[in-house]
Every structure is written in C-alpha cells, then in structure tokens.
Amino acid sequence: MAAEPVAHTPPKDPPRETDAGDLPTPRHGERPRVVIVGAGFGGVTLAQELADAPVDIVMVDRRNHHLFQPLIYQVATASLEPSDVAYPVRGLLAKMPNATFRLGEVVGVDHDERLLLLDEGDPVAFDHLVIAAGAETATFGIPGVDEHAYGLKSLADGLRLRDHLLREVERAEGRRHAIEEDGSLSVTICGGGPTGVELAGATAELFNHVLARDFPELDIGRARVVLAEMDENVLPGYPADQQRYTAEQLRERGVELRLGQPVTEIRDRELELEDGTVIRSGTIVWAAGVQANPLAGALDVEQGPGGRIVVQDNLAVPDRPGVWAIGDIAAVEREPHPQLAPVAIQGAKHVAEEIRRHEQGEPARPFRYRDKGTMATIGRRAAVANLPFGLKLRGTLGWAAWLVLHLLMLLGARNRVSVLTNWAWAYFTWHKPGRLIIGASEPQEGLRAEPDPPE
C-alpha cells in the first residue's frame, strides 16, 4: 500500500509529435470557447491564466467550490473549518468577466459535435476542452475498504471522519469497560505516505492534547493511533534519514507503526494484515493511494497506467483536436508526472500558453515539469521537506517551510487569515475549534456508501 503512488513507466513507443493537430476555429461564438472540467488546482489555475485572454471560459464542476485537498485532514482532526480550506467557484470567477460556471457532473463527450455531456441539462459546446477532473481513492480491490473505511478526498469525507471519530470517543466514555473489545478509542490509518503521516500525527495530537482535556474521566492513554504501511518505511520514496526521523517523531507522539505488512481485509471495526494480525479499531481511514478519476474511461480517449488519460508532450490528447488533459487525471506518455498539486498548476499554465499560441497560429511547445520538491508535516514543529537543489529540511525549519507554503497556496486572503489565526491560536492554546459532531450526512463521493447509523 503506497501512498501517492506514481507510475514511472519507461517509454514504450517513440514520442509523438508535439502538436495538437488541426485545432478547430471558433464555432460557438466570436471568440473561442474554452471549457474546463474541474475547479481543482489545475482548472482554477487555467482559468486565472486565461482571465485576460480573448477567449470565453466555461468552468464545469460537480461541486460549487475549489477544495484545498492537502488540508482536508485538518478538517477531519478539528483544527480547521470547511470554509477555511474551500473557496466558492462563482466567487472566484466573478472577478473574471470572460468566465462562467456550470454546476454538474460530466458524464461524457461528443467529439464530433464538440459537446461536453452532463448528467443534467444541456450539453456544453466547446472549441477547446481541458479535462482537469483529478483523481479518486484507489482501493486496489481490497475487500471491505469501500464499506468500512473512511476516505479523505472531499469536504464531506473530512466532516464525516471528524463526526465519527468524536462520536467514537463519546461512545468510549459511556462504555469504558469495553474500550479494548470495542476499539472505540483506536484509529487506524492505512497508508504511510504524506497524507497518512499527516493524519496520524494530527490525530495523536488531538488525543494527547485536546481530547485528554475534554475527557478527564477517560483514560485517554488507552487510545491507539495506528499507522499501517506495506513498505518497510513510512514516506516511501523519501530519503532514508527523513523516513527515520518521521518514524521517530510519530512514535514519540504515541503513533504505533505497523510497517512491512499490507492490509488484506477491512471488516466492521477491525482490519487484518497479511501476517494475520487483526487490529480492532472503531475508526479506519484509507489513505493508501489514488487512481485517475473514472471519468477518464467515459471520454473516449486513450488511457494509460492507473487509468490516466494519455497526453502528448504538450498535454494535448492524441487524435482529439482541441482536447487537453492536465493534473492528476493526465499522464504524459513518456514521462508520467507525480499526482501532486504543482504538476496540475504547472500543466495548467502550459495549456493556457498552448491555447494562446494556437490562437495566434504559433507552433506547439512541450511541457517541462519543474520539480519543486515534496514535504510532509508530522505535527507541531516537526516536518520533512525536500526542496530544489538538494536542500533538505526537517524539524522546526521544515515545519515553518510547510506552513508558509500551504498558506501561500490557499485561495483567498480571508482563508489565509483564518487559517493563520486558527494555527496561531492552536499553537498557544491547543484549542481545536472544530470539535463539533454535526451529523454530517451528505451523499458519499467514494468510500463508505452509508452514513453512520444513529447510536
């Protein structure tokens, strides 16, 4: 189970020409219409880049907000509120006179008629179509993941997990004699990549510093936070010294590491590892990997490893003039990039340039990804960061770098101020404002099809 899996497959065929083919001339108005599927990192950046271009933009998303996925785990662990990590798309586009929004689920595309098909309402005509629909949780076919584990891909996921986790602790308060059999005070996170590490560290801090104070009668020392990773180390792919440091820091915070054993099955309130170990756990979170959004399979385009849409060097979809794919859902044939926000952002900037170049009759150029590094936070004053030029940070310095980068990447000044205020407040007081059980019951987008039954 590897978090953030990235397929680095060798080239099979010679690279295709960096050319989007004969792109269409505007057919749906005086100016070319660019339709963007997805208001995530890629889609929003693309719209911003084209805000002053002589094109009309239609952004389509099944949610009405852009979501800063890297901080969902802080919603789940009561540090931040949903509105801190999300931004309404209409609010964003209101500043762009050439852009409009359509709320809806994309279900297909008619390439001949150049129409994007939605689950409801009229199709959307396009001259350029940019697919930026992201990724979904990969369960790798492991039994019980869908039914019994919580995911971390949407705001609803974060709120459901928060509700459940807090309810489990309340439940333990009322059934102290049965804490161990019941697993109510145990949280198991499957997947020791950055997401799993960050969630494990934050959950341990929630138990040790916040819930211990909220529940003085409860022996919170009996709470278990388990991080299960099939690799021999946490943060697979990170330098060995950072893996060791991360493991030490997690253990210091009370996180129990189960390394080198894949999860083979998840059942109601328990999971099993390959060596037969059964872990009783009232809360099980699946953070073990992503795969391309299954929408890719409905768009009549070529798919590569992980279901990602195969794109040419300039991010154009082969044999589909005017169609582009960026971010988590796309993979350059010769060199699939990691499924990370900077890849989506840089890809969006490149496609914006490609569209401008096309409109001016200039030749296409290949996309070059500039690796800005990777980082993961473990908890207060502990993080690891691998930056360009071989610069490696950890501890307080790494943590500060992580905080600054995440603040800068958030959309909207209000969100930045709110997040900074919450973080600063929590730093001095250990106060977590989101300790609210709100009965989150929005329809699921992925894992766990049913809301929790009433207790």
Ligand X SMILES: Cc1cc2nc3c(=O)[nH]c(=O)nc-3n(C[C@H](O)[C@H](O)[C@H](O)COP(=O)(O)OP(=O)(O)OC[C@H]3O[C@@H](n4cnc5c(N)ncnc54)[C@H](O)[C@@H]3O)c2cc1C
153 binds ligand X (CB under 6 A): yes
- Interactions with ligand X, residue window 340-369 (CB under 6 A): 340-342, 344
134 binds ligand X (CB under 6 A): yes
386 binds ligand X (CB under 6 A): no
Among 5, 33, 35, 42, binds ligand X (CB under 6 A): 42
The answer to whether the beta carbons of residues 159 and 78 sit under 8 Å apart is: no
Buried b (16+ CB within 10 A) or exposed e, 113-140: ebbbbbeeeeebbbbbbbbbbbbbbbbe
The answer to whether the beta carbons of residues 88 and 101 sit under 8 Å apart is: no
Q: Rank residues 189 and 218 by Cβ distance to ligand X and give the closer one.
A: 189
| The amino acid at 88 | P
Residue 106, strand partner residues: 118
Min CB(122)–ligand X separation in Å: 15
283 CB contacts (<8 Å, ≥6 apart)? 150, 161, 164, 165, 168, 186, 187, 188
Q: Rank residues 75 and 172 by Cβ distance to ligand X and give the closer one.
A: 75
Among 48, 69, 312, 386, binds ligand X (CB under 6 A): 69
Min CB(106)–ligand X separation in Å: 4
Q: Which among 78, 83, 79, 80 is positioned nearest to 67, based on CA atoms?
A: 83
Residue 279, strand partner residues: 271
The number of residues that bind ligand X (CB under 6 A) is 33
132 binds ligand X (CB under 6 A): yes
For residue 232, what is the DSSP state? S
Residues 169, 206: Cα–Cα separation, whole Å: 11
205 binds ligand X (CB under 6 A): no
Q: Rank residues 118 and 218 by Cβ distance to ligand X and give the closer one.
A: 118
Q: Rank residues 72 and 172 by Cβ distance to ligand X and give the closer one.
A: 72
Among 233, 249, 293, 422, binds ligand X (CB under 6 A): 293
Among 27, 64, 94, 105, binds ligand X (CB under 6 A): 105
- What count of residues does the chain have? 455
Min CB(254)–ligand X separation in Å: 22
Residues 447, 139: Cα–Cα separation, whole Å: 9
For residue 177, what is the DSSP state? G
- Interactions with ligand X, residue window 238-277 (CB under 6 A): none
Q: Rank residues 224 and 308 by Cβ distance to ligand X and give the closer one.
A: 308
133 binds ligand X (CB under 6 A): yes
Q: Rank residues 63 and 164 by Cβ distance to ligand X and give the closer one.
A: 63
| Runs of H (alpha helix) within 211-340 | 212-214, 240-252
99 CB contacts (<8 Å, ≥6 apart)? 47, 51, 56, 57, 58, 59, 93
Q: Rank residues 183 and 194 by Cβ distance to ligand X and give the closer one.
A: 194
Q: Rank residues 70 and 306 by Cβ distance to ligand X and give the closer one.
A: 70
Residue 67, strand partner residues: 86
Residue with tokens 């385009």: 301
Question: Is-catalytic flag, 217?
Answer: no
Q: Interface with ligand X by CB under 6 A: which range of 14-22, 109-117, 128-136, 203-211?
A: 128-136
43 binds ligand X (CB under 6 A): yes
195 binds ligand X (CB under 6 A): yes
Site string for ligand X, 322-341 (x = CB under 6 A): -----xxx---------xxx
Among 5, 32, 70, 144, binds ligand X (CB under 6 A): 70
For residue 452, what is the DSSP state? P
Supply 132's token pair.
Answer: 């930026």
Task: Give the nearest residue (CB) to ligand X.
Answer: 40
Among 5, 32, 38, 307, binds ligand X (CB under 6 A): 38
Q: What angle do CA 408, 331, 92 make, to 5 degrees?
A: 35
288 CB contacts (<8 Å, ≥6 apart)? 1, 2, 3, 138, 140, 190, 191, 193, 196, 263
Of the candidates 49, 136, 168, 198, the residue annotated as catalytic is 198
Which residues are annotated as catalytic?
Answer: 198
- Site residues (vs ligand X, CB under 6 A): 37-43, 60-63, 69-70, 72, 105-106, 132-134, 152-153, 194-195, 293, 295, 327-329, 339-342, 344
